[in-house]
Chains A and B, each alone.
Chain A
Amino acid sequence: MGNLNRSMSLAGEPPKALNTGQKLAVITGMTGMGILILQLFNLNLGNSALWLSIAILAIFAGIIWFSQAAYAHKHKGIKNDGVWFKSMSSRGVLAWMAGIALTGFYIVLYFYPQYLGLVKDGDNTGLIALFDPLSKALSGNPASQWFVYGTLYTVAILAFGAKFIWKYRHNKYEQLRTVSVMFFQTAFAFFIPEIMARLNGDLPYYDLKNMWPLNYYNFERYRINGFIDSGSVGMTMLFFGIISIFVISPFLTYKYGKRWYCSWVCGCGGLAETAGDSFRQLSDKSKFAWKVERWVVHSVVVFVTLMTTAVIYSYLGNDTSKYWLTKTMFISGVAIILTAVFAWVMIYKRDELEKDAKYGAIGYFTIIAVLIGMHFFSGSGNIFIFKAETLRTTYSFLIGSVFSGVIGTGFYPILGNRVWCRFGCPMAAILGFQQRMFSKFRITTNGGQCISCGNCSTYCEMGIDVRAYAQKGANIVRSSCVGCGICSAVCPRGVLKLENGPEKGRIDSKEVLLGNDVDLMDLVNKN
C-alpha cells in the first residue's frame, strides 16, 4: 500500500468526469439522502410514511439513473475505464469524505443510537421515527436503529445490485449471483424475520441465512430459551442453526467452494459486492498483507470459539437429572470435535499444509488448553479472571461492531470492500479452511495463455495475487477466495475459470508452461 501514492506522472486525465445524466442522478439520490439527514435534526416533516417513501424512492431512482447514464450507451463488456482516475474509486478526496461519513454513521449507529432518535420508553423521534410506519406495517413494533439500518442496507443491496447487473450485463455468472444476494437480503434478512416477529413474538430475531460464527450470539442463553419456549418452530430453528454449521455448510462448501455463501448468500458479502463494487481494486495485494490476514482472521476464529463455548458453558448445569446436557458433557464434546478435525487434517492433509500446520496446531492447542483450564480452574462461567459475559461483550464490541461495521464497511472507500470478510470474518475463515482442504472448487488457469497483465490481481477484492498463480500456470486454490468471479471477468485473455471439478490434481504447479516443448515440460516438472 505504501507505494500507491508514489504513483507516476502517468495517472492523468479523464475519463473521470461524470456526464450530465450521472450528475442529475447524483442530485436525485442525494435529495433522498438529504431527507433522511434532515430527520437527524428532528425537523418534523409531518407524514412520515410519505416522506420515507419519497426518500427511499429518490435514493433508488438516483442509483438506477446513475447506472443507466453510465452503462446504457456503452457496449457490453468490462467497464473499468478511469477507475484509477476518479476521486471516489482511487482514495481521492471524495473517497475520504465518504469514508469518514460512513464511519461516523456506524459509530452513531452502534454506540449512540439516541442521536438517530431512539427513545427507550416512549415514541421515537428523528430518523428512527421516520421509519416507524414501515416497521409497524411489517412487525407491528416501532422501529429501532437496527430496523433503520436493515432497511437502508437492503435498499443499498437492491439498488447497487441493479447497477452491478447492468455493469456486468455480458456476464451471466455475475448477474445470477447478484440476483441471489439481492433475494437473500430482501427475503431472509429483511422480510422473514420481521414477519416471524409478528407471528410469534417470543421467537428471537433470526436471519436464517446467518450461521454461527457469523451470528456469534446465536447460542446465548436468552436466544436458546426463546427457541425452546417457542415450541416446535423454535426447536426447528435451533436445530437448523446447528446443522447449518455441521452439515449444510460443509456439504455445500465441498461441492461449490465457499462462494455459495460468501458471494451468493451472505449479507456482508452482498453489500460488499454491490455497494462496495467500486472499491474492490483498493485491497492490499502484498505478501505482507496476506500474512497479517492469516494471523488476524484465525485469531478471530479462536476468540469466537472460546467465547461461544464459555457462554454456553456458563449457563449449563452440572446435574444430568435437570437437563441432559451438562457442563462436562458439553466441554468434552467441543474438545472431541476439535480434536477430530485437527487429527483428520494432520493425517490426510499435512503435506498440503507445510508451515501452516504449525500455526494450526498452535490455534488448536490454545483452545484446548483454555477449555481445560476453564473446566478445572474456574468457577461457573469464569475463564480464569474473565467472566464469560465479559468475553462476550468484548467480542461483540471489538469484532461484531468495530471490526465488521466501523472498519469493515466504514472504510470501504479506503481499504476496499472486503476488509471484514478478509481480515475479520470467522465464518469466512472456517469456510475458507474447508475450501482449501476439502472442496471441488478451484479457479482453473488456462494453460499458458496468461500475459501477466495484472487485471485479475488488481480487481481481486480479497487481495489475492491471482496473477502470481496464473502466470505459473497454477490453479488458484486459496482459502480466502470468495468466488466473486471478477478475476475471470476482467481477464483479457480468457485465462481464468471458476469451476467445481475433481479434487485430484486441483492444486498443481507447473515449472514450465504449456506451449513449450513437451520434453522440457517433462524434465522440469519432474525435478
Chain B
Amino acid sequence: MDHIVIIGNGISGVTLARHIRKLSDKRITIISAESDYFFSRTALMYVYMGHMKFEHTQPYENWFWKKNRIDLMNGFVEKVDTDSKKLLLKGGSTVSYDKLVIATGSKPNKFGWPGQDLKGVQGLYSKQDLEMLEKNAPNNKVCNRAVIVGGGLIGIEMAEMLRSREIPVTFLVREKSFWNGVLPAGESAMINEHIIEHHIDLQLDTNLEKIIADDNGHAKAVVTDKGETIECNVVGLTAGVAPNIDFLKDSGIEIGRGVKVNRFLETNIKDVYAIGDCAEQHEGIGSRRPIEAVWYTGRMMGETLAQTICGNPRKYNPGHWFNSAKFLDVEYQTYGWVFSERGKKENEQHFHWRHPEEKICITVAFDKDTNQFLGINTFGIRMRHEIFDQWLTENKDIDHVMTYLKDANFDPEFYNLHEDAIVAKYNSDYNKNINPKKKSWKRIFSIA
C-alpha cells in the first residue's frame, strides 16, 4: 500500500490528507513540528485578542485523525533523500515514503535590516510566533510601544491585535497609501482613515532603516528612512512571506523562490509534489502570481492533488479569483480581478462608490471597450460568491451586474441596503438608466 507522507499540517496538507482518505485506503502520514493538531492559521490573531482559546482554532476534534487513519507525527524534517525515498528528521530518525508532498507553507520575510534578529523582533505566522508575541507584548506595561513594519494583511492584523491590549502601535508602510499595490486608491484611502481612527500611528511612505538594541540585545527603538527614531519594545516584521523551504536546498528538488511545480503540482522529481504557500508554478495561471500564499488556493491545491495521487490525474486549475480579509472592523471581499492603479491594464476601468458616512465602499472593474464585468471589491458589504462566480463565467457586462446587484447581496437580514445608491451613482457617472431589479430567490437559487 502506498505510503503518502505530507510535510506540514496546514490547510493544504490537511485538505490533501482528508481527500486522499475519502478517495482511497492509502497510508497517510502528516509530519509537523509546529503543532500536534491542525489549526486555522488565520485564527491565531483571535487567540491573542481573547476571542478564542487555541483549541477553538482546531477545526477537527482530536479523535478525528485516528478515526480517519491519518497518522500525525511531531517532527522536523531536516533532509529529503529522493533517491532512497527517505526523510531525515531532527533527532536522527528517518521516515520512508512512496509519495512525498511538501506543504510547508511560508515564513516571514526579512530583508536584511540591521537588528532584524534582535530579541523583541518577530513576524506573525506560526503558533510559535503567537507564543512569542504573548511573551514580548503581554500588556502595555511590558510593551510601551510596538512598531510594525510592512503594510499588508498580516501587518494590519498585528496592529489590531496589539491595540486590543491598548498597546500603542506605530505602523510603518512603504507605500504612499495602505496596500495600494493591491487596492485601488479610493479603497486604500478609506482604510488609511480607518487605521487612524483606531488610534494607530500610521506612517505612510516610510521605510525601516535599522533596529537599535539595548544592552541585553533586545530591540529598544527603530530608525526610519525619514530620520526619525521611534522607541519601542516590540518590532513586528510583516513585509510579506516567502516559501519555507530551506531544508530542501541540497535535495535535488528544483527550487526557485518556492518549490517549482507543474500544473499537476509535481516537482522535477518523480513522486514528489508541492502544494500551498511553498509551491511555485513555472508560470502564473491567468492573472495569478506563480506563488499564491492564500488560504483558499492552498485548500484548492490539496483538493486537486488528492485526485492525482489517487490515480485520477488533474491539473491544478483554479477558477475565478476570490479572496477576503478584515481590516479592523471593515470586512473586505473580492471576486474576479480588480487591480490597483499600479497593476491595472489599459482597458480596465473602475466604477467606485463610497457611502457618505460609513466605512462602506465598492469598486467594480470592467472593460471599457466591451463593458465586460471583470471583478468587484466590496468593503462593509457582503456579497454572494456563487453569483459572482456565475457572472464571471458567463462574461456578463457591468450593466447586468448593476441590474441584478440586489441578488448578490449577502448582508444579514434587515441591514440597510445600498444597491439603489450604488446604481444611482453608476447611472450618473456613465449617463445610464439602469433600474435595479428586486431581489429574487428564484434567480439566486437557480444560479447556485
Interface residues of A (CB under 8 A from B): 3-4, 7-16, 75-78, 80-86, 170-173, 176, 286-287, 444, 446-449, 451-455, 457-458, 467-468, 471, 485, 488-490, 492-494, 497-499, 501-502, 504-505, 511-520, 523-524
Question: Which residues of the partner chain B approach A84 to less than 8 Å between Cβ atoms?
Answer: 50-53
Stretch at the interface among B1-9, B89-97, B410-418: B410-418
Question: Which residues of the partner chain A approach B57 to less than 8 Å between Cβ atoms?
Answer: 453-454
B385 within 8 A of A: yes
Asked if A505 and B448 make an inter-chain contact with CB atoms under 8 angstroms apart, the answer reads yes
CB-contact partner of B331 in A173, A492, A517, under 8 A: A492
How far does the alpha carbon of A468 sit from the alpha carbon of B304 in the complex, in Å? Answer: 21
Stretch at the interface among B39-47, B341-349, B367-375, B422-430: B39-47
Q: Is the interface of A mostly helix, strand, loop or mixed?
A: loop
CB-contact partner of B52 in A176, A287, A455, A502, under 8 A: A455
Asked if B445 and A467 make an inter-chain contact with CB atoms under 8 angstroms apart, the answer reads no
Closest-by-CB residue of B relative to A76 is B329
Given the known interface contacts A13-B165, A452-B59, the answer about A4 and B53 at a Cβ–Cβ threshold of 8 Å is: yes
Given the known interface contacts A447-B389, A453-B57, A494-B382, the answer about A172 and B40 at a Cβ–Cβ threshold of 8 Å is: no
* Mask of B31-66 contacts with A, CB within 8 angstroms, 1/0: 000000000101100111111111111110110000
Given the known interface contacts A10-B131, A454-B56, A514-B385, the answer about A15 and B166 at a Cβ–Cβ threshold of 8 Å is: yes
Which residues of chain B from 84 to 125 have any CB-CB distance to chain A below 8 Å in the complex? Answer: none
Ordered by A's residue number, 22 sampled pairs between the chains whose C-beta atoms are within 8 Å are A8-B131, A11-B50, A14-B139, A15-B165, A75-B329, A81-B164, A84-B52, A172-B412, A173-B415, A448-B296, A448-B299, A451-B43, A454-B40, A455-B43, A485-B413, A501-B444, A502-B441, A515-B385, A515-B389, A516-B317, A516-B319, A520-B317
How far does the alpha carbon of A511 sit from the alpha carbon of B328 in the complex, in Å? Answer: 32
Asked if A447 and B319 make an inter-chain contact with CB atoms under 8 angstroms apart, the answer reads no
Which residues of chain B from 183 to 220 have any CB-CB distance to chain A below 8 Å in the complex? Answer: 197-198
Total interface residues in chain B, CB < 8 Å: 74
How far does the alpha carbon of A76 sit from the alpha carbon of B165 in the complex, in Å? Answer: 17
B384 within 8 A of A: yes
Asked if A448 and B138 make an inter-chain contact with CB atoms under 8 angstroms apart, the answer reads no
Asked if B319 and A517 make an inter-chain contact with CB atoms under 8 angstroms apart, the answer reads yes
B223 within 8 A of A: no
Asked if B317 and A517 make an inter-chain contact with CB atoms under 8 angstroms apart, the answer reads yes
Closest-by-CB residue of B relative to A508 is B448
B154 within 8 A of A: no
Asked if B303 and A516 make an inter-chain contact with CB atoms under 8 angstroms apart, the answer reads yes
B307 within 8 A of A: yes
How far does the alpha carbon of A171 sit from the alpha carbon of B380 in the complex, in Å? Answer: 12
How far does the alpha carbon of A81 sit from the alpha carbon of B52 in the complex, in Å? Answer: 9
Given the known interface contacts A81-B51, A515-B322, the answer about A173 and B56 at a Cβ–Cβ threshold of 8 Å is: no
Given the known interface contacts A82-B49, A516-B304, the answer about A15 and B295 at a Cβ–Cβ threshold of 8 Å is: no
Given the known interface contacts A446-B385, A501-B444, the answer about A286 and B61 at a Cβ–Cβ threshold of 8 Å is: yes
Pick the most buried of B11, B296, B316, B389: most chain A CB atoms within 10 A of its CB.
Answer: B296
Question: Which residues of the partner chain A approach B52 to less than 8 Å between Cβ atoms?
Answer: 84, 453-455, 458
CB-contact partner of A468 in B22, B47, B59, B320, under 8 A: B59
B333 within 8 A of A: yes
B386 within 8 A of A: yes
A89 to chain B, nearest CB (A): 9
Given the known interface contacts A14-B139, A75-B329, A171-B412, the answer about A517 and B304 at a Cβ–Cβ threshold of 8 Å is: yes
Given the known interface contacts A13-B138, A452-B59, A494-B331, the answer about A520 and B385 at a Cβ–Cβ threshold of 8 Å is: no
Question: Which residues of the partner chain A approach B416 to less than 8 Å between Cβ atoms?
Answer: 172
Asked if B319 and A497 make an inter-chain contact with CB atoms under 8 angstroms apart, the answer reads no
Given the known interface contacts A10-B54, A494-B324, the answer about A511 and B410 at a Cβ–Cβ threshold of 8 Å is: no
B257 within 8 A of A: no
Given the known interface contacts A447-B385, A516-B319, the answer about A471 and B329 at a Cβ–Cβ threshold of 8 Å is: no
A81 to chain B, nearest CB (A): 5
B72 within 8 A of A: no
Given the known interface contacts A449-B333, A514-B389, the answer about A10 and B59 at a Cβ–Cβ threshold of 8 Å is: no
Question: Which residues of the partner chain B approach A7 to less than 8 Å between Cβ atoms?
Answer: 53-55
How far does the alpha carbon of A272 sit from the alpha carbon of B392 in the complex, in Å? Answer: 44
Asked if A498 and B40 make an inter-chain contact with CB atoms under 8 angstroms apart, the answer reads no
Question: Which residues of the partner chain B approach A78 to less than 8 Å between Cβ atoms?
Answer: 51, 329
Asked if A9 and B385 make an inter-chain contact with CB atoms under 8 angstroms apart, the answer reads no
Given the known interface contacts A515-B296, A516-B300, the answer about A4 and B55 at a Cβ–Cβ threshold of 8 Å is: yes
Asked if B131 and A451 make an inter-chain contact with CB atoms under 8 angstroms apart, the answer reads no
Asked if A446 and B412 make an inter-chain contact with CB atoms under 8 angstroms apart, the answer reads no
Question: Which residues of the partner chain A approach B49 to less than 8 Å between Cβ atoms?
Answer: 80-82
Question: Which residues of the partner chain A approach B58 to less than 8 Å between Cβ atoms?
Answer: 454
Asked if A83 and B50 make an inter-chain contact with CB atoms under 8 angstroms apart, the answer reads yes
Question: Which residues of the partner chain A approach B444 to less than 8 Å between Cβ atoms?
Answer: 501
Question: Which residues of the partner chain A approach B415 to less than 8 Å between Cβ atoms?
Answer: 171-173
CB-contact partner of A452 in B40, B131, B312, under 8 A: B40
B134 within 8 A of A: yes
Question: Which residues of the partner chain A approach B329 to less than 8 Å between Cβ atoms?
Answer: 75-78, 170
Asked if A512 and B441 make an inter-chain contact with CB atoms under 8 angstroms apart, the answer reads no
Asked if A452 and B11 make an inter-chain contact with CB atoms under 8 angstroms apart, the answer reads yes
Question: Which residues of the partner chain A approach B165 to less than 8 Å between Cβ atoms?
Answer: 13-15
Extra pairs beyond A446-B385, A454-B56, A502-B445 (17, CB < 8 Å): A10-B47, A10-B134, A13-B139, A14-B140, A77-B329, A81-B49, A173-B413, A453-B42, A458-B51, A471-B59, A497-B412, A497-B413, A498-B413, A501-B444, A517-B314, A518-B319, A523-B312
